A and B are shown apart, each in its own frame.
Chain A
Amino acid sequence: MKYLIYILRRLVSLIPVLLGISFIVFFLIRLIPGDPAATLLGTHATPQAVEALRAQLGLDRPLWSQYLTFMGHLLQGNLGYSFVYDGSVSSLISTSLPVTLWLLVSGTVFTLLIAVPLAVLAAARRGGTADNIIRAVPVIGLGLPSFWLGIMLILVFGLKLGWFPVGGFGNDLAGHLRSIVLPGITVALALSPILIRSLRASMIDVLGSDYIVTAQAKGISTARVVFGHALRNAAVSSVTVLGVNIAYLTGATLVIERVFSLPGIGQQMINSILGRDFPTVQGITLVFAIMVVVVNLLTDVTHAVLDPRVKLT
């Protein structure tokens, strides 16, 4: 019950956030030079044709009136219609969002698979050779550009070994699963250094705390200490990486989706910005914001469930 009330309260507090975001994105995208109608019609277009299209798109009306229309549609759950593609923004998003969600999940899974064992090992052997290597080597992944990593993975595992497709998203579930592995690993290689560092640190903190010292003093084996107590702490922190993950993916999806030819929301976002497709940019921004907020919320709830010391306020 307390979770339910908490979630409801958080959802209510989401409203001002979304209002703020819709306001900013609406005006920000219109700050960029470049008129959608002129962009769409091309250089041949007569000024009359451009004006006619502007009127058709509703771009000739005052900004505040356009904003009210946008908000009015939004309240009815309507994100509007794309300027460029003839279709509603929500239907455009519904084709690309799942691809990005797949990428997100795959990236998170691989991040955890890589980061948790390494962080545990580093923390357990604090100051040792293993610790130093684990702290230093993944930083290389952090610094390498994703497109470089992506291409290298494709060259080796896609082209040379033929284990995975060299791009695209496949046509069925098996195809999706196969094609999302390499992109996921690319995300993970860039993301895990961050997680390894924070996990290692928090585990060291736990290992140094009184109750662990007591446990060790009682003769409980190091392995049990590490896996029984410290790892639980690790699990708690790992959950939070999801939130970070999403924020990170804004920048990364564009590049990773491009390299792996994934028709996801990052590509759609950049295309709609470049095409001055205002409604699509607005729609994607909002969907993205909701995603971040919801994941943050889930993170907090999971965190509270895993760690009884955490109070939800």
Chain B
Amino acid sequence: MSTTTILEPTLPAATPRPRGRGRWNAPLVSGLILFALIVLCAVCAPLLTSYDPIQQNLNDAFLAPGSPGHPFGTDSLGRDVLSRLLYGARVDLQVGVLAVVSPFILGSLVGLVAGWFGGWVDAIIGRVVDVVIAFPFLVLVIALVFAIGPGTSSIYTAITLVGWVAYCRIVRGQVLIAKEQEYAMAARASGLPTWRILVRHLLPNVILQAFVFSMSDIVLTLLAIVTLGFLGLGVPPPTPDWGTMIQEGQQFILTKWYMSTIPGLAVVLTGLALALIADGIVDKANR
């Protein structure tokens, strides 16, 4: 792996700055508020809607948004779209966050090790990373989901197996920069145990980038679930989930555009919130 490769949507080197860390800023605040609202909607779903998200009412299918009692209409089986959207948020936020946590941890640790030790450790990890990056995500996910069986656990497994690579490369790049800096040199010279240097001194300084990336990674994960839904491999019915809702609406896109657009907008809003948070964190760190 070349040392020059810049990757994935990363941000400029967030070198530790001794200066004050800045105050709350507008993107961070608005992002956090928006995200909190989404989470609140998910948590309070039973308070916001009286409909059961999986209760069918076959005589009231395909009601348009704005119908009495169904502000976002009903789907092909007469289920209330608003309640599916709200309960779907529970499922998707959980899957999105969980599916990012394990690659984040795994990738960061591997990247830390690769960057710090260099040499043959780095070379081997580099090759593995190359293999994973060059391996088509789709083949891997489909194979795994078919082999393990569809469901959220297959989705976690597949996304973890692929997703850690991005974090590994980001963290490794940061470590390469950080280990040339004074504090790292000093730590090394002090004779502290390696793990202590890595975890206590290096990690806090290099993790920011990975964290920022994880924000957009959640959105990418949500989209990956949409693609899996497109292949019928997403969250199994009748569990409400935005990806499946978008996929179910796809066949009606020429006739009932809102069926896939409404859950699509939910993904967009979540993405926007997370992007704002990421921006805000960077701004805060750089200020």
Contacts and interface: CB of A to CB of B under 8 A. Distances in A.
B146 A33 contact: yes
A292 interface: yes
Interface in B181-237: 216, 219, 222-224, 226-227, 230-231
Contacts of B133: 247, 292, 296
A145 B264 contact: yes
B155 to A, nearest CB: 14
Interface stretch (B8-16, B59-67, B79-87): B8-16
B159 to A, nearest CB: 12
Interface of B: 2-13, 26-27, 127-128, 130-131, 133-140, 142-144, 146-147, 216, 219, 222-224, 226-227, 230-231, 246, 250, 253-254, 260-261, 264-265, 267-272, 275-276, 279, 282, 286
A-B pairs, top 7 by smallest CB distance, nearest first, are: A143-B268, A205-B12, A289-B134, A143-B271, A20-B131, A201-B11, A292-B134
Given A28-B139, A143-B219, A143-B223, A135 B9 contact: no
Contact of A145 (B131, B138, B147, B226): B226
A300 B147 contact: no
B276 A269 contact: no
A5 interface: no
Interface in A207-261: 237, 240, 243-244, 247, 250-251, 254-255
Contacts of B4: 300, 303-304, 310-313
A291 to B, nearest CB: 8
Contacts of B5: 240, 243, 296, 299-300, 303
Interface centre among A202, A247, A269 (most CB of B within 10 A): A247
Contacts of B147: 28, 31-33
Nearest to A208: B286
Given A143-B219, A197-B9, A205-B12, A288 B136 contact: yes
A255 B250 CA distance: 12
A56 interface: no
Nearest to A33: B146
Interface in A245-294: 247, 250-251, 254-255, 266, 269-270, 273, 281, 284-285, 288-290, 292-293
Contacts of A247: 133, 137
A270 B138 contact: yes
Interface centre among A29, A32, A139 (most CB of B within 10 A): A139
User: Which label, helix, strand, loop or mixed, suits the secondary structure of the B interface?
Assistant: helix
Interface string A5-47: 0000010010011001100110011011100000000000000
Given A17-B130, A21-B131, A244-B9, 16 more contacts: A13-B130, A17-B127, A21-B134, A29-B143, A132-B26, A135-B275, A136-B272, A142-B268, A148-B264, A197-B275, A204-B286, A269-B139, A270-B231, A289-B136, A303-B6, A304-B4
A269 B136 contact: yes
Contact of A24 (B131, B219, B222, B279): B131
Contacts of A49: none
A156 interface: no
A13 B127 contact: yes
Nearest to A190: B223
Contacts, number: 174
B134 A17 contact: yes
A53 interface: no
Contacts of B264: 143-145, 148
Interface of A: 10, 13, 16-17, 20-21, 24-25, 28-29, 31-33, 132, 135-136, 139-140, 142-145, 147-148, 151, 155, 193-195, 197-198, 201-202, 204-205, 237, 240, 243-244, 247, 250-251, 254-255, 266, 269-270, 273, 281, 284-285, 288-290, 292-293, 296, 299-300, 303-304, 310-313
B118 to A, nearest CB: 11
B246 A145 contact: yes
A32 B11 contact: no
Contact of B2 (A132, A244, A300): A300
A244 B213 CA distance: 14
A293 B130 contact: yes
B47 to A, nearest CB: 26
A151 B257 CA distance: 10
Given A20-B127, A251-B138, A293-B134, A198 B260 contact: no
B138 A201 contact: no
Nearest to B137: A250
Contacts of B143: 28-29, 31-32, 273
Nearest to A203: B12
A198 B11 contact: yes
B2 A21 contact: no
A144 B268 contact: yes
B107 to A, nearest CB: 15
A284 to B, nearest CB: 8
A303 B5 CA distance: 8
A243 B165 CA distance: 14
Interface centre among B136, B250, B268, B282 (most CB of A within 10 A): B136
B276 A136 contact: yes
